[in-house]
Amino acid sequence: MNYPIVISFRLIDRSASLERLVRDQAGRLGRHCVALAACCVTLEPAGRPRASSSLFHVRVDAKIADSSEAVQAHALDRDPYLATFSAFRVATNSLRLRAAS
C-alpha cells in the first residue's frame, strides 16, 4: 500500500477500532487497483444529527493515479461497522469492474 488514507469523523466520536477497520479495508483496495493514488473515507450520521433514526453514512472516495477518475461508494446502516464493510464492498466491486474493462 503506497497511497495515503484519510479518515474523517464528522459529528461522531472517533473510535480506534473503527479507524483500524477503515485502514485495513482501505489497504485491501490496493489489491484490486495497482494505480490507486489515495483513499478518503468519511463517517458521519445520516440526515440531521439529532434525528431519531441514528443511521450512519460511510463514504469511500478512491482516487486513481494519472487519471481524473475516482471511485465513490456510499453505505447507510445503524451500525457504523456494517456501513463501513458495505461501503468498501461497493468500492471493491467498482474497482474490479473498472479493471475488467
Q: What is the CATH number of the domain that holds 81?
A: 3.30.160.100
Q: In the 3-class helix/strand/coil scheme, how is 19-86 assigned residue by residue? A: HHHHHHHHHHHCCCCCCEEEEEEEEEECCCCCCCCCCEEEEEEEEECCCCCEEEEEEEECCHHHHHHH
Give me the number of domains the chain comprises. 1
One-letter amino acid at 100 equals A
What pLDDT was estimated at residue 77? 96
Range of the domain at 76: 5-100
Side-chain-side CA neighbours of 28 within 13 Å: the count stands at 15
The C-alpha cell that represents 84 in the structure block: 463501513
β-pair type (5-9, 36-45): parallel
Q: How confident is the model over 41-91, as pLDDT tens digits? A: 999 998 765 555 689 999 999 998 888 888 999 999 999 999 999 999 999
pTM to 2 decimal places:
0.90
